Structure 1
């Protein structure tokens, strides 16, 4: 209903040209942030590694569950034989202490679990949060009151305590990665999304084009899909990008506490749990999954911040990565005398 032409005023004349598409503007703003582009490349590489885990382990000739007792020194308590944790042409990153399972295979398969759980949980959080927020924003006073109180209850729930309780009572036959993703998504994340979407819906439904659609006889569902969801896309995408690293950290924490993904399914948090007593004898067993978690969470956070700035050009980046000095240099170059000009206050 609101498709318009951008009016560009040049040399005292008005020239109507088609407005630049939102996707093209977003990509142009994102490309201006080098840190976000590097983070996007790192995330893409991690996703590619996770998807290609069977192929990568086949190239190495290993799998994540096979034990290699001949590669560990039982006299020393199960420490891998050789330098760098037993790294060799057959085991690129060495083997696990006590079990002798291949570290590279468990790392790449662990990426599938960590990324799959976090992405699946983020999808459920966004869908449930948007549905609850839009329903509360467009509903009558009682619907808004009930949904808002339910959302407040879930906001106040401590994730770890609720997750520990739920994971302890669910039968072991239920697929553990799916269970962890459902618990993370249903206990946390969606409630904050719902509160943000409700606030945005209350602001958007008073605009002229939304009011016109409702007065024209459109149903609430049609108004939400055709008029409200396009306006909610930017904040929802931004928040979803920031939910993913939080979910990765939550999955790692649950696995570290021993209630997340169960062996022999590999997970980075589970590997950290087993590595807490081997940091001196086999430090690579602790450092490799910790480094993988750090790189993944950091890249996701930087990318989420870049997406937020690209969708809202008025917002400033919270992460000053390699941009502050360049911005200051450009400001000094733009002002004669080498110092940035300060605006005079009245």
Structure 2
């Protein structure tokens, strides 16, 4: 994936990155990306409004309801469809009786929050390392490139499992999972940024900035970072669903977010033995994960197409519209 993004962004002869208006016009032309963006916005809204939604239901994610559990049947919820009713919109958890709707919406806060924060950390570290390697001396470039290769070669899940297992239990688990994912997963971002920065260094406007007396920091901030926006944003959009899956996997393995803090991966861990007696307990978090990852992946692909002029050109060719008409519209915009 990273090699494809580098190839897409590293052609110096490609037109400059489109402005905001052109980007939004290209993004709006993709119905799948718009639908995915709507789904992502709805999920973020649900996560932010979790306290309000649970207050409307009259429940919270941690209160046990033993009266709603049939202990004679091993802890299966009482009532049809896992105890769904006016008081519990999606039913209750087996064995504990905790409200599933409350745990699902609060779990969205954890899963999305960890993924977004880890992505910001990965992009920040990767961009800093990539730009420094490309603009530094040969020895600095070699040192940072070898360090990046080591990070990329590390198996993320194994390293995360090892680090999470040795950290004291008192450390906030959500923060720890975010740090582990962010500090281990920045290697591909650094490679993309370094490759693109090396390409941008050879352009005339960057050379002119250097000849005018600008120092390296000024050149990077004013000339290079704007050109890096498209590949970095594109890759960041693809990192978010990957990080959601990593957080869910870590929680599923029992080393991620700890109870009573709800998480979709943690809910899947507890639901693996209830898929026959209470299938909604497994299907709800699994479905939420699937929809979130799918929507973010489609949105990331749409952002890539909108930011890459060549991809947008291929998209227009596929629509069968005339080149002359398209050129006139682009000029007018």
Show the counterpart of 2:250.
254
Could you tell me how far 1:20 is from its partner in structure 2? 11
Show the counterpart of 2:10.
none
Pair 1:186-2:183 in alignment: yes
Partner Cα distance (2:211, 2:133) in 1 = 20
Unpaired runs of at least 5, structure 2: 1-15, 323-333
Partner Cα distance (2:159, 2:176) in 1 = 13
Q: 2:279 aligns with which of 283, 287, 304?
A: 283
Show the counterpart of 1:339.
none
Larger radius of gyration: 1
TM-score by length of 1: 0.86
Show the counterpart of 2:237.
241
Q: 2:24 aligns with which of 22, 27, 32?
A: 27
Q: Deviations over 1:76-103 (max 9, x none)?
A: 0000000110001000000000000000
Distance 1:261 1:203, change over 3 A: same
Q: Is the 8 A contact 2:119 2:236 kept in 1?
A: yes
Q: Deviations over 1:161-194 (max 9, x none)?
A: 1001000111111111111011011112x11000
Could you tell me how far 1:313 is from its partner in structure 2? 2.8
Q: Which runs of 4+ in 1 moved over 3 A?
A: none
C-alpha RMSD over aligned residues:
2.0
Show the counterpart of 1:99.
96
Q: Is the 8 A contact 2:17 2:230 kept in 1?
A: no
Partner Cα distance (1:20, 1:310) in 2 = 10
Partner Cα distance (1:171, 1:307) in 2 = 40
Instruction: Please identify which structure carries the higher helix content.
Output: 2
Pair 1:73-2:70 in alignment: yes
Show the counterpart of 1:159.
156
Q: How many residues align?
A: 307
Q: 1:226 aligns with which of 219, 222, 229?
A: 222
Q: Is the 8 A contact 2:17 2:227 kept in 1?
A: no
Partner SS for 1:136: helix
Equivalent residues in 2 for 1:4-43, closer than 5 Å: 22-43=19-40
Partner Cα distance (1:37, 1:302) in 2 = 9
Partner Cα distance (1:20, 1:92) in 2 = 47
Q: Is the 8 A contact 2:33 2:302 kept in 1?
A: yes
Partner SS for 2:310: coil
Q: Deviations over 1:116-163 (max 9, x none)?
A: 000000000000000000000000100000000000000000011100
| Structure showing greater relative contact order (alpha-carbon pairs closer than 8 Å, 6 or more residues apart) | 2
Partner SS for 2:291: helix
Partner Cα distance (2:205, 2:62) in 1 = 58
Q: Deviations over 1:272-323 (max 9, x none)?
A: 00000000000000000000000000000000000000000312799xxxx9
Could you tell me how far 1:217 is from its partner in structure 2? 1.4
Q: 1:87 aligns with which of 84, 88, 91?
A: 84
Show the counterpart of 2:125.
128
